[in-house]
């Protein structure tokens, strides 16, 4: 054998990578219009259909947004899109509740601590509104789960750290729905409301220790509930809404 | 106005979503061959070219892998691919060093603690080899950064938590290269070696507190170094290799 097999990359992927590189370097900036298909094809010396396929890839990756049939604009990938992609991968990798729980304990506790240092009056108002709605919904499990997810997201946003937010969102998408199984089997609602109330008290009082402590207790309650409900924490989580 | 504008989704995206749903539900399992283009086109009642475009989308998303021109196999999205996608998004969102640092402090400290509880003899051997190589490379900055990245990844893997690993990787991809700027300006190398040595001692001795404490000190050193080098922690990190 003299030659290794040549590894070819389809032309459209090469073109997509080249455009992406320009976006990452800041030559093409978010909000700017992408040059036309014809222009790009001429500059790059490829067929127009190759450019069209490359643009489709960039659209899929959230780097290009189609405003109208002919107007393509550079965009920034949406956090929600990235998060759902990541949580789908976690399901396919058969990640267990135990793994999610450990990671969530870490991230939510830190988010709570930082939220106590940085929350604005607006954040506190959102948390108060969430608490009030939670009190009203204690008997509506589905609404309660939605409010719980919203509560934790509001705390995380108040931490003013987008890296933390990006890290926790895909885990939260799988973790909180898994908790629905617990909530529907146990009377965990009063404990949930009590913990949320203490967390908001901590944030309002600018007390990072109190806030972090109650978030930690609260996430530890999730695990205890999971075990009390005879669910196996070493089983992979599933992707169906509210844990199936 | 009587009608809202109809929001249409291109047919290939609809087809891609339908196939993805089957993969997520487990009807199509990783490793299995995807039905042929022709088969799918018949079943779904669309053109073959629509199916072809849908498959391209799935390939891009790492859910389908092309073994040969005609053999397409269901696959699981690669962690490295997801991580680089996420870190590209962080750059475009102009995430700051401060945000990355706070998140890394949280994740690496927990990873260190769990590694001390769960590391195998093989993990410890990898860490020992990394330490030995680091001692040899103290004057080669580029190799030192690579070894540093490898060290932290080895610790994180020893924590045996894939959710934690998925959460830290995109942040690590941006965080450690940013530290290169510090390392090349300051004499931080001895402190780095000392911290790594203590972390390995803690893991070998199954001492989660010692390990977590030294990881925390080590990550705090990164930030101090960044500030001592007169770098602004509130500036966005960039995406060029080794922080440009």
The alpha carbon of residue A238 is apart from the nearest alpha carbon of chain B, in Å, by 9
**Beta-strand runs (E) in B171-213:** none
* B84: nearest CA partner in chain A: A82
Tell me what the pLDDT averaged over chain A comes to: 88
The continuous run of DSSP H or E covering B126 comes out as: helix B121-136
A163 and chain B: CB distance < 8 Å anywhere? Answer: yes
Say yes or no to pLDDT of A179 above 80: no
Residue-wise pLDDT tens for chain B (244 aa)?
666 666 677 888 899 989 988 888 888 888 999 999 999 999 999 999 999 989 988 888 888 988 887 889 998 888 777 888 888 888 888 899 999 999 999 999 999 999 999 999 999 999 999 999 999 988 888 888 889 999 999 999 999 999 999 899 888 888 877 777 777 666 678 889 999 999 999 999 999 999 999 999 999 988 888 888 888 889 888 765 433 3
CATH number for region B80-243: 1.20.120.530
Burial class of B133 by CB neighbour count within 10 A (0 to 12, 13 to 18, 19+): middle
Query: What's domain A11-74's architecture?
Result: Orthogonal Bundle (1.10)
Cβ–Cβ pairs < 8 A, chains A and B: 121
Question: Which tens digit of pLDDT belongs to each residue from B159-215?
Answer: 999 999 989 988 888 887 777 777 766 667 888 999 999 999 999 999 999 999 999
Q: Is A74 in contact with A63 (CB distance < 8 Å)?
A: yes
Asked if the C-beta of A116 comes within 8 angstroms of chain B's C-beta atoms, the answer is no
The CA–CA distances, whole Å, from A210 to A118, A215, A220, B19, B192 equal 15, 9, 15, 47, 33
ipTM: 0.82
**Per-residue pLDDT, A126:** 98
Could you tell me if A162 lies within 8 Å of chain B, comparing CB atoms? yes
Choose from B85, B163, B168, B177 for mutation: most chain A CBs within 10 A.
B163
Give me the residue from A79, A85, A103 closest to B163, CB to CB. Answer: A103
Q: Where are the domains of chain B?
A: 11-74, 80-243
Cβ of A95 within 8 Å of Cβ of B163? The answer is: yes
Quick check: A106 and B110 CB within 8 A?
yes
Closest to A221 measured CA to CA, from A130, A101, A128 = A101
Q: Residue B104, CB half-sphere, CA atoms under 13 Å: how many? A: 27
Cα Rg of chain B (Å, integer): 23
A53 interface with B at CB cutoff 8 Å: yes
Please determine whether the domains at A11-74 and A80-243 fall in the same fold group of CATH: no
The 8-class DSSP code of residue B188 comes to -
What residues contact residue A162 under an 8 Å CB cut-off, 6+ apart?
Answer: B90, B93, B95, B99
Cα(A53)–Cα(B195) distance, integer angstroms: 49
Give the model's pLDDT for residue B241: 47
> Among all residues of chain B, which has the CA nearest to that of A164?
B103
Residue A210 has pLDDT above 90, yes or no: yes
Average pLDDT, chain B: 88
């Amino acid at each position: 054998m003299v030659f290794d097999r040549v590894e070819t990359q389809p032309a459209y992927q090469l073109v997509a990578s080249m455009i992406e590189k320009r976006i990452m370097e800041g030559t093409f900036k978010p909000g700017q219009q992408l040059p036309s298909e014809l222009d790009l094809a001429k500059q790059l010396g490829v067929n127009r259909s190759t450019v069209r396929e490359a643009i489709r890839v960039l659209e899929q990756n959230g780097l290009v947004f189609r405003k109208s049939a002919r107007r393509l604009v550079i965009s920034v990938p949406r956090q929600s899109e990235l998060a759902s992609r990541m949580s789908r991968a976690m399901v396919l990798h058969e990640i267990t509740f135990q793994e999610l729980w450990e990671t969530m304990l870490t991230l939510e506790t830190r988010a709570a601590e930082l939220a106590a240092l940085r929350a604005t009056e607006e954040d506190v108002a959102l948390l108060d509104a969430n608490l009030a709605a939670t009190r009203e919904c204690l008997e509506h499990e589905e609404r309660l789960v939605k409010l719980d997810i919203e509560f934790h997201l509001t705390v995380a946003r108040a931490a003013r750290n987008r890296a933390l937010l990006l890290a926790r969102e895909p885990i939260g998408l799988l973790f909180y729905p898994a908790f629905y199984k617990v909530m529907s089997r146990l009377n965990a609602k009063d404990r949930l409301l009590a913990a949320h109330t203490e967390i908001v008290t901590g944030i309002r009082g600018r007390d990072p220790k109190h806030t972090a402590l109650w978030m930690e207790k609260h996430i530890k309650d999730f695990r205890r509930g999971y075990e009390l409900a005879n669910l196996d924490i070493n089983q992979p989580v599933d992707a169906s809404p509210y844990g199936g």
